[in-house]
Structure 1
């Protein structure tokens, strides 16, 4: 019998409440996602739809991504920035030819909908929060293609991500398309499958979640396992690994979610200035924590301190990884050396020497 432990059973205040943290063995579930494939319930994510003939051109004009020519059944990612270029929203995108689907962090759909509604003006668009009716499930692992084929939608092409040009790049260096393109297909029983770097997301009606999961020959894995692999891969989450002053260039979102040559949008000037300078104020790193004094992961926002006692950054998500041990994502100042001796709470910390994606 599977033992389901919900996130709120372990942390009643977590914004990730509503889904399983694990099913009895978090380390085994991590290995499952790393070596085979598992199904992760991410149904706590918010889902916003935009319909209307102007939807793609309108989203193109108010977000960081080039979506004006997004082909039907294609996905990508986008950001909404503040006037000063700080990240306010991050969303996965899927357009089915008549509707653009935006999935975002738990609890953030109302704020995203409020922003979109304020920006409508005279455009023929209709944004709506459909979180109550639609859920996100994620297939994670190297055997994802096999499961997609069994669902009747595979194989889907691997993610296509445009390389980020260097500072002061020549005009025309970035093609006039979304900087990340994720192959998508309609599911025969309703909903969509979207290929992602970690596997695939299934966007399905909540009413069909139970029948879909029971029909798949895929073992479940909890959010803890998904988060552990996410941290090791250096994939940030808004609100977990970002703060109110986070810039896209600091956390590696330029490639997936920002088009550096498209027209004006809120915060574009800051994006261009930071990229042309080539050194954002902070950078996202993976910290290895010694776990000698404590094996409890530090809370998000815990200061990262230099050997001299100076604050040089803050932690984001911290996890116990099945191979790496206790690790955490952190935003640290750009001038912190890669071999610096650091402290996080009671734990000594060291920056992983391998850049994300290497």
Structure 2
């Protein structure tokens, strides 16, 4: 049993998910209000620790964010991209002055550690996997060693395509030793469903929104995780081309779902425009103020002024109003004007 699972076993009323952590403690909707105040949530996370004098410039050279001069006490976010610019890993970073702590979604730690080890070559970088418990909070962090989320503010070198949803978002993820986690009051904890609902309402992207084709532009992740004018890194060509000359093929939307049919919507459910399939749900939740909501990734050309529908697992078409997060006009930052075709007749204007 891990330290996180041991703590989960002591949380009153906890209903555990497949990962052994609490999904909720009795009332997922009411838990959102507790989380906004001072409650905590056990998160399914893996933790890595980088040491050595080359850790920051080395990581800067292979990921999307500029972290080569990250000061002690600072938090940042960066992505590992494929050579084609598709998202492979999302890293939450906290620098302490003597080490760089990395928090990733549970299950990603092994693959990330293996990739970083292959990319190390002759750099003076140590890669460790300390035993740690990660605790999320919408208020004050649960410990001093915490990653502070900068969303929805635009990080230096980043760009935002859409407007924030209007849902307040303040989030931290504290990295605790097993002893520090054991000292926390189990009664303070709520489940991950509450955290998911607040994240979805804020339009905050996560790996839940990522599939094998996803590029950062589609999720507005250039806001916090990509520096557009830093040096070369894997996938940079796609990032630059799509932002400057092209447009992302898909875009994320926040769906406000009709709850009157009592048909649950889940990740993977198809998004419809009429009878045509235009995308898929990536995350869903019951929000304490907005009701049933979801994030979905749809085709870029899907009209923004039309209501959509989601086909639930029962085959029911659930009506969905869309709130634009990434507009169809995203990209094209420096697209040159179209020149008239050679030999084309120029018609006089009135």
Offset of 1:197 from its aligned partner?
A: 5.1
Aligned equivalent of 2:308: 342
Aligned equivalent of 1:7: 17
Aligned equivalent of 2:4: none
Query: Larger radius of gyration, structure 1 or 2?
Result: 2
Offset of 1:301 from its aligned partner?
A: 1.9
**Contact 1:227–1:319 (8 Å) recurs in 2:** yes
Aligned equivalent of 1:250: 218
Change (3 A) 1:94 1:274: same
Please list, as runs of the form range in 1=range in 2, the aligned pairs for 1:1-358 lying within 5 A after superposition.
Answer: 2-8=12-18, 17-34=19-36, 36-42=37-43, 44-130=44-130, 133-141=131-139, 144=140, 161-162=154-155, 164-165=158-159, 198-213=170-185, 219-238=188-207, 240-277=208-245, 279-298=247-266, 300-307=267-274, 309-345=275-311, 346=316, 347-352=318-323
Offset of 1:157 from its aligned partner?
A: 11
Using the alignment, how far apart are the partners of 1:136 and 1:304 within structure 2?
Answer: 33
**Per-residue displacement from partner, 1:62-109 (whole Å, max 9, x unpaired)?**
000101101011110010000000000001001111111110011110
**Contact 1:40–1:140 (8 Å) recurs in 2:** no
Change (3 A) 1:333 1:354: closer
**Contact 2:63–2:81 (8 Å) recurs in 1:** yes
**Contact 1:161–1:255 (8 Å) recurs in 2:** yes
Using the alignment, how far apart are the partners of 1:113 and 1:153 within structure 2?
Answer: 21
Offset of 1:275 from its aligned partner?
A: 0.5
Change (3 A) 1:166 1:207: closer
Using the alignment, how far apart are the partners of 1:200 and 1:53 within structure 2?
Answer: 27
**Per-residue displacement from partner, 1:154-203 (whole Å, max 9, x unpaired)?**
9x998764364589xxxxxxxxxxxxxxxxxxxxxxxxxxxx95232211
Mean Cα deviation higher: 97-106 or 200-209: 200-209
**Contact 1:110–1:129 (8 Å) recurs in 2:** no
Using the alignment, how far apart are the partners of 1:250 and 1:19 within structure 2?
Answer: 30
Offset of 1:296 from its aligned partner?
A: 1.4
- SS of 1:212 mapped into structure 2: coil
Using the alignment, how far apart are the partners of 2:159 and 2:116 within structure 1?
Answer: 30
Aligned equivalent of 1:179: none
**Contact 1:285–1:329 (8 Å) recurs in 2:** yes
Using the alignment, how far apart are the partners of 2:226 and 2:150 within structure 1?
Answer: 19
Change (3 A) 1:261 1:153: closer
- SS of 2:61 mapped into structure 1: helix
Using the alignment, how far apart are the partners of 1:89 and 1:153 within structure 2?
Answer: 22
Change (3 A) 1:127 1:41: same
Task: Provide the TM-score with structure 2 as the length reference.
Answer: 0.80
User: Which ranges of structure 2 fall in alignment gaps of 5 or more residues?
Assistant: 1-10, 162-167, 328-350
Offset of 1:288 from its aligned partner?
A: 1.4
User: Which ranges of structure 1 fall in alignment gaps of 5 or more residues?
Assistant: 9-16, 168-195
Offset of 1:310 from its aligned partner?
A: 1.4
Offset of 1:314 from its aligned partner?
A: 1.0
Change (3 A) 1:114 1:102: same
**Contact 1:85–1:247 (8 Å) recurs in 2:** yes
4+ long deviations beyond 4 Å: 151-154, 156-160, 353-356
Using the alignment, how far apart are the partners of 2:34 and 2:155 within structure 1?
Answer: 30
Using the alignment, how far apart are the partners of 1:236 and 1:157 within structure 2?
Answer: 12
Q: CA RMSD in A?
A: 2.6
